[in-house]
Amino acid sequence: MNNDPLLPPQPIALDRRRTDASELESLRREIALRDDILSLAAHELRNPLHALSLHLALARATAQAGSGVDAAERIRRAELTLKRYSERVTVLMELLASPGVTYPLARRRVDVKALLATLVDSLEQEARSRMISVGIVGDDAAFDPMRGVDPVAFEQVVDNLLLNAFKHSGASEVTIRLSAGNGAWRVQVEDNGGGIALADQQTIFEKFAVAAHSSRGAGTGLGLWIVTRLVQAMGGEITLKSTPGKGSIFSVRIPEGDDMNTTR
């Protein structure tokens, strides 16, 4: 080190400090990203494991009662649930593994009626355990095959909106409304629960946000954030209409696209 006061100070130590600060900030960003991935994985794995436990518990009880055919059907449904959620977790890990909205969409023609029926069927025990009835409505045109839609992303959007209503709305009825027209599909998930306060409506789609209206208290606050990311990846938009004491309506608009693989 040069102690001569007539010579200018050497910038080496300062540059090193700047470099160290930059590296530290980069490490913090990487850690935050890994935390996001772990939080997302935990959120997405918790729901299917619970659903599987319900199916398998019923399968065991049915088998014990001597009805082998029904037990086999329950186990088949559990296996289907496991396969579906395994695919979804894999895709979502890819979504958060890169900065920004990078989702490898697999656009194709989707039998939305069959997809929604399978989804509601997979959530039957979850809804029944909470004494919630679930319905699907739409005109004939709304149930025509959807063109250029990623079925995994679409299913996950509806699934998370349903589970959000199951867990946090305090509703007894949840309705999926499907409509089509003007080059887009619209999906609404409506509940007759307690509604959402205006202040919460401004933040409910943010990561880790849990609205004060939740009838079940604390949660991860990731479900609606995941929905938002997936809807954005498909070029769509999501809106919320809610009045405290009168329920909520989450509306998703997804533009019809070409049947191809693409990344947004």
Q: State which residues form the domain around 133.
A: 106-263
CATH number at residue 245: 3.30.565.10
Q: Are residues 57 and 121 in the same domain?
A: no
The last residue of a domain, from among 49, 79, 97:
97
Q: Is 88 in the same domain as 127?
A: no
- C-alpha triplet 241, 230, 87: angle, nearest 5°: 130
With bands split at pLDDT 50, 70 and 90, how would you rate the model's confidence at 36?
low
How would residue 173 be classed by pLDDT, with cut points 50, 70 and 90? very high
Considering the domain architecture, whether residues 251 and 219 belong to the same structural domain is answered as yes
More confident residue, 87 or 241: 241
Q: 3-state secondary structure string, 158-224?
A: HHHHHHHHHHHCCCCEEEEEEEEECCEEEEEEEECCCCCCHHHHCCCCCCCCCCCCCCCCCCCCCHH
- Residues 245, 131, single domain; the answer is yes
User: Structural domain tally of the chain?
Assistant: 2
Count of C-beta atoms within a 10 Å radius of residue 11 = 9
Query: What are the residue ranges of helices labelled H in 65-179?
Result: 68-97, 112-122, 124-129, 151-168
Per-residue b or e along 213-230, where b marks 16 or more CB atoms closer than 10 Å to that residue's CB: bbeeeebbbbbbbbbbbb
Q: What is the pTM of this model?
A: 0.68
Instruction: Tell whether 210 and 175 lie within a shared domain.
Output: yes
187 assigned to some structural domain: yes
